[in-house]
Amino acid sequence: MSTNFTSLSTSADKEEKYMFLLPQLKSLLKGEEDFVARLSTAMAVLKEAFDFLWVGIYMVNDRNLIVGPFQGPVACLRIPFGKGVCGKSWEQKEAIIVPDVDQFPGHIACSSLSRSEIVVPAFGENKEVVFLIDVDSSELNTFDLIDLKYLNQLIEIIIEKN
């Protein structure tokens, strides 16, 4: 199986890219039970496909988020509950799309290059947030409901038992 996620033409719109990469990710993860391996591979696939500035995981740990597998510049290691976009998404138990990080009160600038952002929470069986996917772009207005839809599918692929 090819793992060349950049093989789609650059004109392919992002929905096509997601539809191309998600089945490949599912196939890559088949039979792998290690959670860190699943998270890491998913983040690498996302970074390869879109070349976003930063893609990564924040894991819920007591009253903090702790950075998990990621691709991109060094980022904050811990984010308190309710702080920044990630902490707010955790608190509100819902995804947040930020078209312009400068307009989001309390945004935590791990990289000065970040201009827009999406954070999508993943829920455990008790409906509590277990981890979040955070994706940062160096362009304004990068993320919309298409990203939300497919990042939720990506979370399903990561957490599903196979």
Interface ranges with ligand SME (CB under 6 A): 54, 75-76, 79, 84-86, 107-108, 110, 114, 117, 134, 136
Q: Which residues contact 34 (CB under 8 A, 6 or more apart)?
A: none
| CA dist., res. 149 & res. 144, Å (int) | 9
User: For residues 29 and 133, which CB has a smaller minimum distance to ligand SME in the complex?
Assistant: 133
Q: What minimum distance in Å lies between the beta carbon of 15 and ligand SME? A: 24
Q: How far is the CB of 62 from ligand SME (least distance, A)?
A: 17
* Shortest reach from residue 131's CB to ligand SME, in Å: 13
DSSP state of 141: T
Closer residue to ligand SME in complex, CB, 28/147: 147
- Our CB check for ligand SME shows the closer of 54 and 150 to be 54
Least distance in Å: CB of 46 to ligand SME? Answer: 13
CA atoms within 13 A on the CB side of 124: 8
Nearest alpha-carbon partner for 57 in 84, 76, 29, 32: 76
Which one, 28 or 85, has the nearer CB to ligand SME? 85
Element (H, E) at 70: strand 64-71
> Given the structure tokens 């993943």, which residue do they identify?
122
